Amino acid sequence: MFFYLTGVGAVLQKSERLLEKKYKPKRPIEELIEFVAERLGLKPKLICSGSRQQKIVEARALVAYLAVEETGHSAADVARYLGIGRANVIRSIKRGREI
């Protein structure tokens, strides 16, 4: 019985965190792009350029991670801003988490 209750508690906590992320005020994607660009010494325009240079790819990955995982934007919205496909945003999120 104890194991069952702990499992339910964990599920409830996880769903609570998801709801918080979904409904908290979102920081605009443009602002996240500017934030990452400033920290990495890049121009925001470069992050959305589609360039394959390592530093720019990493910047896009950070923006994708912050936008989707930390502020609750959809992968489709992020894809539109970054000029990449939704599937690439999903891959970038994983890369951004590691960075």
Q: Output the CATH code of domain 25-98.
A: 1.10.1750.10
What's the pLDDT tens digit per position in 31-69?
999 999 999 999 999 999 988 999 999 999 999 999 998
3-state secondary structure the chain: CHHHHHHHHHHHHHHHHHHHHHHCCCCCHHHHHHHHHHHHCCCHHHHCCCCCCHHHHHHHHHHHHHHHHHCCCCHHHHHHHHCCCHHHHHHHHHHHHHC
What's the pLDDT tens digit per position in 11-25?
667 666 666 666 665
What's the pLDDT tens digit per position in 69-78?
888 899 999 9
